[in-house]
Structure 1
Amino acid sequence: MTERLTPAGVARAAALLREGALVAFPTETVYGLGADARNGTAVAGIFAAKGRPHFNPLISHFPDAATAFAEVAPDARAEALAARFWPGALTLVLPRRSESRIDLLTGAGLDTLAVRVPAHPLAQALLRAAGTPVAAPSANRSGGVSPTTADHVLDGLSGRIAAVIDGGPCAVGLESTVLDLSTPTPVLLRPGGVTAEAIEAMIGPLARSGAGQPGTLRSPGMLLSHYAPGLPLRLEAREVAADEALLAFGPSLPGAGATWNLSEAGDPAEAAARLFAGLRWLDAEGARQGLRGIAAMPVPMAGLGEAINDRLRRAAAPR
């Protein structure tokens, strides 16, 4: 049963987030489906609740620019835009700091993170009370219409999430603008609540997503090979050689040079939470041991298995 919380229930919602539960909350754009961005298992729950087909990068929400920029490395453009448009409907994609504690699943294993400071007073109160970055896509089933009221959230997600804070209708009703500043040319990945003209008036011309700019690679699902390990990845492995590392699921195969088990119990949610960390660890450990590749055991397609397999196919794609 999903709790419907009044604005007075922010402390309850914050406690649920810290416990690893999912909480929907209002922003000035649309309602977001929040999880502790540092908790991989909680973030995996977002994908499960939404029925999201891919592990797309999620936006991490913060109460102010200082906490956001503690996780990413801003340049002068980012600092100027944050001073002008935060809190507000602008998301910035920036290089991830090496010391960031945001889980790799939140950023889809990329070396960038998408960050935003929402303006809605309830979102602000929740973020300050939670004391952790909150990953939050729109609070609807994947492919559905973005929700702008608590009733919209409950129509699609009742019973799938712990709670929703009812803050009334969203003022903007359109998702945030997403701007990639991880490359010299800024790229508009998604138009939204802050206009391109307003951004260009501050930092100059923008490239558009799909225009062949490097920044388009940061947009969800647009690149066949997103984060690919340096070692070749072999899918559907039912045996493993001594000169291969193993990405296991369920009972492990014997004989691997190095092994990372996504979930010995065969739990797709646990596997999703451990996927990106596992690929990175096997890549580094395999290179250290002089292995020739990584063998990935089959993962069933049910539930989050579809998203896991999509991500593995992208990691194994020619490059």
Structure 2
Amino acid sequence: MLPADSGIAEAASVLRTGGLVAFPTETVYGLGANALDARAAARIFEAKARPSFDPLITHLADAAELEKLVGAVPAAVAALTERFWPGPLTLIVDRPAAIPPIVTSGLPTMAVRVPDNAYARALIAEAGVPVAAPSANRFGQLSPTRAEHVVRGLGAAVDVVLDGGPTRCGIESTIVDARDGRPVVLRLGALPVEALEEAVGPVTVRPGSSGQPVAPGTLAAHYAPRTPLRLASGGEPPAADGVRRGFLAFRDRPAGDWAAVEVLSAAGDLTEAAARLFDALHELDAAGVAEILVEPVPEVGVGRAVNDRLRRAAATWHPAA
């Protein structure tokens, strides 16, 4: 593990030579490889045990790099880059010939963004190549918001881990397809739908996929801890059956003798709740409990993305949920 403020040059060299680098963004830690190198991209899928049908997000150092890579972009896409980049917004564009098909899982489109994290942009700029980077975790498991989460989950599969401290947003980027001028949200994320609508007017929200995903992170079951997890029905006391259970609460510590409890935001702040989500779930996952119950948060703003992650995590353990 290298400190992000002094390890950029070494990590960039690893990227240029086909290696894997985990690095902080404002959302979660990414597992990066040279997006122009098919063999390097294949290493991402191998390290994460990620199915080849789930496309990657390509990261750029600056919005100006988009047209250099893909050529002219639709006006609606350009307007969103101007308003929200750098930031937690991933946009769908047509895949350029320079990006090998493995990065997009054979799709004719590419997911791309500019992260709002100085370490991430410095790394990409120093490497001199676009960087393909899904979250730096085993496929389907909890996303990493700290460097130690990456080390714990992927270990020696990563050549370099840059430690930039905890991530600010704590959940993944929002993914939008605006190529035909009508923005469609394919994955809820750290940029709230309300912020998009304030900028461009009404948008369609269509998260989730059946068959091959058209965007990363849209499978029905995803983002799950190793410990079985289910949604709490509300005011639910721990069962009197001797089973150790953990509880993830929004703002109020629940009554009862829980084995472990994590509160996302005592102040009821949804931004803080989102930033704490995966960190809290990592703590509960390591607490030695037999089951984790989770309390949904208010379904507004970034809370919609938090609940989306909780539902997908629960679906991993309870497919009918």
TM-score relative to the length of structure 2: 0.63
Aligned equivalents of 2:126 and 2:60: distance in 1? 11
Which of the residues 42, 63, 66 maps onto 1:65?
63
Tell me, yes or no, if the aligned pair for 1:71 and 1:96 is still in contact at 8 Å: no
Per-residue deviation, 1:184: 4.4
Aligned residues: 216
Tell me, yes or no, if the aligned pair for 2:35 and 2:132 is still in contact at 8 Å: yes
Which of the residues 158, 173, 180 maps onto 1:183?
180
Tell me, yes or no, if the aligned pair for 1:62 and 1:115 is still in contact at 8 Å: yes
Partner amino acid, structure 2, of 1:67: E
Which of the residues 212, 215, 219 maps onto 2:215?
219
Tell me, yes or no, if the aligned pair for 2:90 and 2:173 is still in contact at 8 Å: yes
Aligned equivalents of 1:217 and 1:41: distance in 2? 22
Per-residue deviation, 1:222: 7.4
Tell me the percent identity.
50
What is aligned with 1:162? 159
Aligned equivalents of 1:57 and 1:182: distance in 2? 18
Aligned equivalents of 1:220 and 1:86: distance in 2? 19
Aligned equivalents of 1:41 and 1:211: distance in 2? 29
Partner amino acid, structure 2, of 1:92: L
Secondary structure of 1:179's aligned partner:
strand
2:119 matches 1:122: yes
Note closer, same or farther for the CA distance 1:150–1:196 as it changes in structure 2 (3 Å cut): same
- 1:150-299 counterparts in 2 under 5 A? 150-209=147-206, 218-220=214-216
Partner amino acid, structure 2, of 1:191: L
Secondary structure of 1:185's aligned partner:
coil
What is aligned with 1:51? 49
Which of the residues 15, 20, 23 maps onto 2:21?
23
Tell me, yes or no, if the aligned pair for 1:47 and 1:55 is still in contact at 8 Å: no
Structure 2 segments unaligned to the other structure (5+ residues): 220-321
Note closer, same or farther for the CA distance 1:155–1:211 as it changes in structure 2 (3 Å cut): closer
Aligned equivalents of 2:78 and 2:217: distance in 1? 27
What is aligned with 2:89? 90
Per-residue deviation, 1:7: 1.9
Tell me, yes or no, if the aligned pair for 2:33 and 2:132 is still in contact at 8 Å: yes
2:6 matches 1:11: no
- 1:29-40 counterparts in 2 under 5 A? 29-40=27-38
Note closer, same or farther for the CA distance 1:19–1:185 as it changes in structure 2 (3 Å cut): same
Note closer, same or farther for the CA distance 1:46–1:70 as it changes in structure 2 (3 Å cut): same
Partner amino acid, structure 2, of 1:34: G
Partner amino acid, structure 2, of 1:58: L
Aligned equivalents of 1:96 and 1:6: distance in 2? 30
TM-score relative to the length of structure 1: 0.64
Tell me, yes or no, if the aligned pair for 1:112 and 1:182 is still in contact at 8 Å: no
Note closer, same or farther for the CA distance 1:106–1:179 as it changes in structure 2 (3 Å cut): same
Partner amino acid, structure 1, of 2:12: A
Secondary structure of 1:159's aligned partner:
helix
Per-residue deviation, 1:188: 0.4
Per-residue deviation, 1:53: 2.5
Per-residue deviation, 1:127: 0.7
Secondary structure of 2:9's aligned partner:
helix
Secondary structure of 1:123's aligned partner:
helix
What is aligned with 2:294? none
Note closer, same or farther for the CA distance 1:29–1:74 as it changes in structure 2 (3 Å cut): same
Secondary structure of 2:14's aligned partner:
helix
Per-residue deviation, 1:220: 4.5
Structure 1 segments unaligned to the other structure (5+ residues): 224-319
Aligned equivalents of 1:41 and 1:6: distance in 2? 25
Tell me, yes or no, if the aligned pair for 2:76 and 2:181 is still in contact at 8 Å: no
What is aligned with 1:237? none
- 1:99-118 counterparts in 2 under 5 A? 100-118=97-115
Note closer, same or farther for the CA distance 1:121–1:222 as it changes in structure 2 (3 Å cut): closer
What is aligned with 1:80? 79
Secondary structure of 1:8's aligned partner:
coil
Aligned equivalents of 1:107 and 1:66: distance in 2? 21
